[in-house]
Amino acid sequence: MDVSYKHPVVAVVGPTATGKTALGVALAEQFGGEVISADSMQIYKGLDVGTAKVTPEETHGIPHHGVDILEPDAPFSVADFTAMAGRLEQEIAGRGHLPILVGGTGLYVQSFLYGVRFTEEKAPAGLREQLAEELAQKGGAALYAELQRVDPEAAAVIHPNNQVRVLRALEHYRATGKKLSEQKAASLPPERPYRSLILGLDFPDRAALYRRIDLRVDKMLDAGLLAEAELVWNNRSRFRTAAQAIGYKEFFPYFEQTASLEACADKLKQASRNYAKRQLTWFRHMDGVVWLDAGAPEVQQCACRTVQEFLSKG
């Protein structure tokens, strides 16, 4: 085989509630593919409803990798994802199948497809504890404001309430004196490792997307979301990532008996709409995304034609 040959990889991206899971399965069925989940929360066992995890029925028998692999108290980083996805891509391609990334965690998709190399940098002793102390004394808003000053690019894609990622970005800056964006640019290889096609799902009418998000939250509540949220609430000191995740933390006031269930559900709908905006911003900044109308009746046929053209050029 030509040494310059690059494996083809397809990615299905876009904001929450646009039908990525169904399209990924349809493409896998059509082109002999296997799915690699690019979702930072679906890796955790037992957190099914709030993460909109694919159900056994929805898979149509298509293998889905990177789902249900860790206990909710286990840490998992973008470096862990790129290492895992790299192994999976080799295995799937080795079977003669098409690797299909499906998910809305833009940092995961971009880092993998661009071939970002992560180095384990040891933070100076005591830095993490110092940041935790500052968080306790000054509050999250003050540390997020500091991140906006020293690394506005990182702050732009991190939610102010996501204290784990805010602290991690500040820790990186204080330990190295470099922005995360600078590190990312320095860690890019001269060439991308795969020949990739990125399909983006979106609704031209923003109100249609927001209606889908609101309806999805209602369906999640019917499917048992509250019980999952209570599990996270009861284990919030251990399930640190889940306790920060959209879908769970919005119900904490309900368990604290400081807000009604309806108010918490409304808060989740708003948080999900805001998250969808951030996802769109991320994917709009990625080059080469082929955008499809998620609400169009022929969206799957259109996606299949696009993938067929992509594969025929390989």
Output the CA torsion sign for 43, 221, 12, 115.
negative
Residue 123 has a pLDDT of: 65
Residue 172 has a pLDDT of: 82
Residue 186 has a pLDDT of: 66
Residue 207 has a pLDDT of: 96
Domain coordinates in residue numbering, the chain: 8-118+187-312, 127-185
Rounded Cα–Cα distance for residues 108 and 98 (Å): 19
Residue 77 has a pLDDT of: 87
C-beta pairs of 222-225 under 8 Å, 24+ apart in sequence: 223/49, 224/49, 225/49, 225/50, 225/251
Contact predicate 23/201, CB 8 Å = yes
Cα distances from 32 to residues 95, 220, 297, in angstroms, run: 10, 31, 23
Q: What is the pTM of this model?
A: 0.82
The secondary structure of the chain, three-state, reads CCCCCCCEEEEEECCCCCCHHHHHHHHHHHHCEEEEECCCCCCECCCCCCCCCCCHHHHCCCCEECCCCECCCCCCCHHHHHHHHHHHHHHHHHCCCEEEEECCCHHHHHHHHHCCCCCCCCCCCCHHHHHHHHHHHHCHHHHHHHHHHHCHHHHHCCCCCCHHHHHHHHHHHHHHCCCHHHHHHHCCCCCCCCEEEEEEEECCCHHHHHHHHHHHHHHHHHCCHHHHHHHHHHCCCCCHHHHHCCCCHHHHHHHCCCCCHHHHHHHHHHHHHHHHHHHHHHHHCCCCEEEEECCCCCHHHHHHHHHHHHHHCC
Residue 210 has a pLDDT of: 97
Strand pairing partners for 64?
35
CATH architecture of 8-118+187-312: 3-Layer(aba) Sandwich (3.40)
Residue 1 has a pLDDT of: 45
State which CATH number among 1.10.20.140, 3.90.800.10, 3.40.190.10, 1.20.1730.10 fits the domain covering 127-185: 1.10.20.140
Residue 145 has a pLDDT of: 93
Residues 6+ apart with CB under 8 A from 7: 89, 93, 99, 194, 195
Q: Position 118: which residue type?
A: F
Residue 184 has a pLDDT of: 67
57 phi and psi angles, rounded to 5 deg: -65, -40
- On the question of a common fold for 8-118+187-312 and 127-185, the answer reads no
Stretches in the chain below the pLDDT threshold 70: 1-3, 119-123, 181, 184-186
Residues 6+ apart with CB under 8 A from 139: none
